[in-house]
Structure 1
Amino acid sequence: MERSDIYILCIEDEQEVLDAVVRDLEQLEEQFPIETANTAEEGRKIIEKLLNDGMKIGLILCDHILPGDNGVELLIELHKDERTHPARKVLLTGQAGLDDTVKALNEARLHHYIAKPWKKEELLRVSVDLLTDYVISNEEDLLPYMKSLDAGKISEAIRTRRNVSDS
């Protein structure tokens, strides 16, 4: 399987938790490189470097409580930036109160909220679903993603695109 130019970014200040997220997503890493950051500022630097290198951010998994800027504020900022706006955003936390969660949903257009502790299957399913939606919305050639993402959704998108171009 060929590695794509679409990255997964995980932002979490607790190294053990960050390692667990990466481990739970390892089957996606063959196609989608995973970058990690321990702070919002480090996340911004990684995003800037990837974008400057012509890469894309397909999925951002972010903790709420981080040193410095919190995860909700970072996700709102990334939503407002046209370069990272298309990225699918997940708040992965055990700390966010109702107000912060609502703010993330409304202002960052959060795609999913996962509470800690999570189940590996849930994290993987959500990540596959969101990456599938990302590639369908942002990529021309969907075939390379059939094996690692939701083949049914991708097949349907390919059929729909053919029907539109045939008419």
Structure 2
Amino acid sequence: MNKYLILCVDDERDVLDGVIQDLDCFEEHFIVEAAESVAEAKNIISNSIEDHIKLALILCDHIMPEQTGISFLIELSQEAQTKTSRKVLLTGQAGLDDTVEAVNHSSLDYFIAKPWKGNELREVLTEQLTQFMIENEPDLMPWASILDTEKIFNAIADNRVSFGE
């Protein structure tokens, strides 16, 4: 299986630790990294790209010191290496205008309000990662036991039908 990165970005360490703890179920099959700033996140993404590890999903807070989460997600949606990554905003402070801007720039796949519930967060990320794999991974079979099995099998069946035509 190819290696994929899940990156969590939040300037509050306790929030970041909580998110990472909620994502421990993904650590066996994904590289799960945490960043306390956009600059640190950019460094992690750059190093991952050098190591041929694709950014599958980024979970990002909005209000951060040097750059807002939404402007960072918009930036990532315009970069060739991160354009297809699933982008999830986890925040309690993004206003309607900010969120609309992100949606209009096709740089936001999902919005989760703080405080979040661990099981809901895992469900959303499973859904987003399933969609990412269907759109980006040629060999879906290994992901069927890890992500949304039904959607993965449907995508495999659809691919067989389209190749058979």
TM-score range, shorter chain: over 0.9
What is the CA-CA distance between 1:104 and the residue it aligns to? 1.5
1:28 maps to what in 2? 26
Moved more, 107-116 or 9-18: 107-116
Q: Gaps (5+ residues) in structure 2?
A: none
> What code does the residue aligned with 1:135 have?
M
> What code does the residue aligned with 2:125 have?
S
CA distance in 1, matches of 2:51, 2:107: 26
Q: Gaps (5+ residues) in structure 1?
A: none
TM-score (norm 2): 0.97
TM-score (norm 1): 0.95
Tell me the matched-pair count. Answer: 165
CA distance in 1, matches of 2:106, 2:61: 14
CA distance in 2, matches of 1:148, 1:28: 9
What is the CA-CA distance between 1:36 and the residue it aligns to? 0.9
Give the counterpart of 2:94 among 89, 96, 110: 96
Identity of aligned residues (%): 47
Matches within 5 A, 1:35-74: 35-74=33-72
1:15 maps to what in 2? 13
What is the CA-CA distance between 1:109 and the residue it aligns to? 2.6
Give the counterpart of 2:115 among 103, 114, 117: 117
> What code does the residue aligned with 1:139 have?
E
- Measured on the aligned residues, the alpha-carbon RMSD in Å equals 1.1
Q: Is the 8 A contact 1:128 1:150 kept in 2?
A: yes
CA distance in 1, matches of 2:94, 2:114: 10
